[in-house]
Amino acid sequence: MKLIVVSGYSGSGKSTALNVLEDAGYYCIDNLPLMLLKDFVSQNLGREHLVESLVVGIDVRNLSSGLESFPKLMDEIRALGAECEVLFLDTAAAVLQKRFSETRRKHPLSSADVSLAEAVKQERVM
């Protein structure tokens, strides 16, 4: 089984990357909680590889809660027999701000008290 974990900043193109990989034949899951990843892979491997090529989109906010343990998690998944890759999409803060302004979508960390620029900056610190 091949596993690609796609992560990156909000607005960096994770959904687009998942769409492209899905079109290429990968089974894609977006926003899977990190704590479920190993069990999902284990269950799949235990059922004669129902999914041969899996892409999981992990939001950087989800990743930040377990960032220290992420390399260990990837090692554990590799030990199960999965081939793992990580694709992190980085985008300049100015580009992210422009994308959110153009689409008029709310940044996940912005609020009445947190501007778009502050939200983008906060996410980079996570």
Provide φ and ψ at 21, rounded to 5°. -70, -35
Per-residue pLDDT of 58-115, as tens digits, reads 886 676 566 678 899 999 999 999 999 999 998 888 888 888 777 777 777 777 888 7
Per-residue pLDDT of 2-30, as tens digits, reads 999 999 888 888 999 999 999 999 999 99
Q: Which element (helix H / strand E) includes 53?
A: strand 53-59
Q: Kindly report the CATH number that applies to the domain delimited by 2-90.
A: 3.40.50.300
Q: Quick one: tokens of 10? A: 């909000």
What number of residues does the chain have? 126
pTM, whole model, 2 decimals? 0.80
pLDDT at 88: 92
Identity of the amino acid at 57 = G
Tell me which of 36-40, 54-58, 99-103 is least confident: 99-103
In the chain, residues under CATH classification 3.40.50.300 are 2-90
